[in-house]
Structures are given as structure tokens and as C-alpha cells.
Chain A
Amino acid sequence: MSGPPDSTPLDAANAAFIGCGVMVSVASRDANLAPSVVRALGCRVAPDRRRVTVLLAGSQSAALLRDLRDTRAIAVVFSQPSTHRTIQLKGSDALVGAPEPGDAALIEANCAALVRDMVPAGYPESFVRTLLAFEPHDLVAVTFAPSAAFAQTPGPHAGKRL
């Protein structure tokens, strides 16, 4: 049984960045190394930044949730559409659990920030809101300790470890 790591690759600036106004996507893989993926809805970072929780729609994520339970391997990418600023976190201890009471509101806030970010670029507000639509009873929370963080903004520094 692994507890929280002694340190986190997630600095305060990146923790704030992934908390609001970002597109979030989550991947895992099965025992045969076949990957699974879903677009998630939002993210919550623990105050000590050692735990990150991503929120997703369970009904859209059957294979991913099965793989997370089986292998616990996780990769999550966060990207701000207007700036292309992107980071990826990886972990090996993902746990699938239930959302907390504030999580729905957190997704609403992320959605509102994304609307402000994406509508000027030409996306209809209805597009952004539909992409982040969810049924509260369908919400699943996946929590992990980031073991590595990578810069993934397109350009020469993409892939650099943070």
C-alpha cells in the first residue's frame, strides 16, 4: 500500500492552472497495454498538491474505469484552448471513487471559464456547455498522486519534464 509521496511534481502555478478553465482528458490501459481514454469534466487539487482528483461521466468511461481499477495506471492532460498551454500528469495509484459535494459546482465553474476562453475563438457557447454537460448521479471521481508532470504546450519544449 502506497501512501502520498513525500513531494509532488506539481508546483503552485500549475496546480492553479489545472484547477479551472482547462480541458481535461484521462487515459489508462488494460493488461494487454491497450489504451482507453475519455474527455473529463474538471479537476480538483488537494491543498498540499499531492493528490489530484479528476471528475468524469461514468457512462462515457466504461473501459477507462475498468482499466483504472485493474491497473491503476493513469495519465491526465490539461489544456487551455486559447493559449494551447498544456501539461500532462501521470500516476500509478489511481482510485475510482464518488464525487464530493462541491464537485458539481467545480465543474460548473470550469465550464464557465472555458466558455469565456473558447467563445472568442469562435466556439458557440452551446458547444462548450454540451461538451461539459453531465448528470450529477453519473459523476465519478478518480484520485491519484502525480508521480510526474510534463510540459506539453506545442513547440520545442513539448515533452519536457516539469
Chain B
Amino acid sequence: MLAVDAIRDCLEGAVPSIVATCAPDGTPNVSYVSQVHYVDGAHVALTYQFFSKTRENVLANPRATLFVADPATVARYRLEVEYVRTETEGALFESMKAKLAGIASHTGMSGVFRLLGSDLYRVRGIEAVPCARLPAPPPRRSLLASLRAASQRLNACTDLAGLLDESLDCLARVFGVDHAMVLMFDATARRLYTVASRGYASSGVGSEIPLGHGVIGVAARELAPIRISHATSEYGYGRAIRAAAAEAGMADRLETEIPFPGLPASRSQLAVPIVACGQLVGALYVESTEDRRFGYDDEDALVALAAQLGTGIHVLQATEGQDEAPAGASRRLPVTGAPVVVRHYAENDSVFLGEDYLIKGVAGAIFWKLARDYVNDQRVEFTNRELRLDPSIRLPDVSDNLEARLVLLQRRLDERAAPLRIEKTGRGRFRLCVGRPLKLVEVAPA
């Protein structure tokens, strides 16, 4: 039989599908469905939004027939299916909920379409309906060829910062995706923080998304890609961030201090979790001002790319722990000018340079240690290993993402054109370069 994979374009929700069912008394029923969702080669799922006759029928008689059409070629297919079960949470449910929000918004049905459950069906057979068709549009590019090229480039990376930048460069140059970002997962705070981005007016490095909020937070929580093909306020980042900020406290107010870099009028969004060795590492997020920019095949390609990115992050973070000989003799810049006041709030490890917020959390604690060692002991050369052993930094025992936090700190300093910066000097080693005298102010918790 035709696999469901072969007709996935019919399942994007661009053309309403039709479902026929039959009551136990023999009365047929026919209805439009806003979404027939691709699950795998042998399963689809339908949105359960209202208690309908369709649902009543399949609970009593599980056999149903779907009629779907390809939005480009108008090729039509009949799917003979059988109801299996309803899911009301988890990856399938969240993926359908997000997609439905996009469909609802696009068709003026926001507030009417609301997902109560995902009705899972086994596909017993697919029949191509003999009918007139339009020629298929030429593909934008070969996604497999793109994936191969990107895969080779990622494999050649030797440090984390390079790997992150190479991933975004591949998305832009190889896949033609101009707006993208990589976020890392902080398992202790249950948040994702941006470490690299491309295609935005400001990088947003250091901005945070709580797990479960918006497209990115849901994808990370469910370990499942979330894709939306139309503009929708329900998953817009303004909303996710306002909701997070509403839960307030000083620590949370700082979350909005670095604005999330997302597009103000995104029309297509795709968030893919980055997983390594079965653990959530972060998320890859792409978006576009075009409707339906990302299809099922794009989703597959980005899931494969994110898997490789996850492995790369994992390997490179592990090897950064191994000290190498320093690249050269310790080198200090001339320190001139008025002192910079560095304030550290112990409550949340937030750091301010003068009046400017720099960073908080683990990256803030790292910065504070470096600044103290510089002022007290005139040290400028550091290793990842000593940071791991320093109790004041309180790194989590496993998957500490230390290297990612150093990348974050390094980029925040560079972007703020701060009078001090971090320079890598070898694997697992770096140097603090200070251009002005530092005046440290510790602010104890209130």
C-alpha cells in the first residue's frame, strides 16, 4: 500500500479533509475536519474539538474513511482507517494543538477551534482517486543534499562556539532559512537561553524562554518538533514572555531585560528539540515571514540536523574539560581609564556593569568569580576545570553546559562592547582581557 509518508502534503491542513463514519444503526455521517495529522507511516490523527457525530460513531464503530487532497497538485486520496485511541496530552497532542492554532488563525476560527484530544487512527489502506491534477511545483531544493552538506560542515567543527555559528550559517546558506536561533536548556532553572542567533536586528543572546512556553518551550518540554504554518497570536513570543513576566519577582523581571530576538510578524515557525544521549540539550528554532514556509520534509531535515547538533554539543562540551597546554605566555592588556563598577547580586547571581545588566544565573556566577580572581589575585588565565570545581559557581553535577555558558558570557560581553572580554586560549582554557580598572560591589540578598 501507499505509505502515509507519500501523501503528507495532503495533511498540512491547507485543504479541509473529509471524514465519513457510520453509526451502529447503519446511518452514515460525513464531516469536514480541519486537520488530519501525519503520525507515522501507518497512523494519522484527527482533531477532537467538539463532541461530534463523527466521534460518537467511531467510538461505537471504529471504521472510517478519509478523503484528502494535495494543496498543490489537487491529487486526491482515500484512506481507510480505524480509530485506535484518543490522546489528551503529550507530544502528538501538543503538536496538533499548535498546528490547529495556526489553521484557526489563518481561517478566522481562533477561539472556535480548540483541541480537546488527538484521535489516533491506524491506516488500513490508501487509494489514489483517479482525477485531474495540476503539475507538481518544482522543489525549492533537495533537502537530502542540503542535509548532507550541512552534516559535513558540522562534523568538521572543533569547538562549541564554532559549531553553533556553523549550524546557523548552514541554515541560512544551505537551507535558505534566514531567521534561526539555538537555545540551550538549563535543567536546574527549567529554562532555555539563547546562545546563538542569526537574522535578527539584535542577537538576543542570553534571552530566556521558560520550558513549556511558546513553540520553543513546548517542543523542548515534549521532546517533539512543533511546527506552525500561519501567524498565530497564541504561540507568539510576545505572549509567552509577557506570561512569564507576569509570574514576576526580581529574578523574573530580569528575564525580559534581554529581549527575545524573534520576528515581530512570524508566519511560519518550527521548533525542534536538541537531544543527546536521551537528554534534552536545547532547541533549534527557525521562522519565516512566509506562510507555510516549513513542511513535513523541512521538519524531517531539521530534526536530523538537530540530532547531529546535539551529538556535537555533547562531544565538544565533554572535550572542553580536558586541559591543554596554554596557547602562549600570559598576556595582559594595559589597564587605563576610570574604573568600571561591577555589581553582583548574590540573590540570583545577576551582574551589572555600571548601570547595564549583563547576565545572571550560572553565567553571572562565573563572571563574578573571574572578576574577583582578577581583582584579588591579578589572575587572567583560567581553565574550565577550575570553574567546575569552584563551589561558588554551583554548576549542576551532570550536563552542566559550562562551555555553552562561557559562550553566552563571551557573546554578551562582546555585544555590550564591555571594557573586558573573554578570549579562548586553548581547549578548556581562556583568558580574561580587562581594559579598565574594575571596582567590585557585592550586594547581599535583602
Chain A residues in the interface with B (C-beta under 8 A): 23, 25-29, 33-39, 57, 59-60, 63, 71, 73-77, 79, 81, 84, 86, 88, 90, 92, 121-122, 126-127, 130-131, 133, 150, 152, 154-156, 158-159
Contact = CB atoms under 8 A, between A and B. Distances in A.
B74 A35 contact: no
A148 to B, nearest CB: 9
A116 B29 CA distance: 28
Nearest to A37: B20
Nearest to A154: B112
A28 B130 contact: no
A31 B442 CA distance: 81
Contacts of A131: 69, 74
Contact of A60 (B76, B107, B109): B76
Interface stretch (B60-68, B87-95, B152-160, B399-407): B60-68
Range class of the B interface residue count: 35 or more
A148 B66 CA distance: 23
Interface string B128-157: 011111100000000000000000000000
Interface stretch (B2-10, B48-56, B200-208, B416-424): B48-56
B76 A37 contact: no
Given A35-B20, A36-B20, A60-B129, A77 B30 contact: yes
B76 A75 contact: no
B436 interface: no
B265 to A, nearest CB: 17
Interface of B: 16, 18-22, 24, 26-32, 34, 49-50, 52-53, 61, 63-67, 69, 71, 74, 76, 78, 80, 107, 109, 112-113, 129-134, 291
A76 B30 contact: yes
A136 B52 CA distance: 36
Task: Among B31, B112, B134, find the residue whose CB has the most chain A CB atoms closer than 10 A.
Answer: B31
B134 A26 contact: no
A71 B22 CA distance: 12
A125 to B, nearest CB: 11
Given A33-B61, A79-B16, A152-B31, 16 more contacts: A23-B16, A25-B30, A25-B67, A26-B30, A34-B63, A34-B65, A35-B28, A36-B65, A37-B67, A39-B76, A59-B130, A86-B32, A90-B27, A90-B29, A154-B49, A159-B50
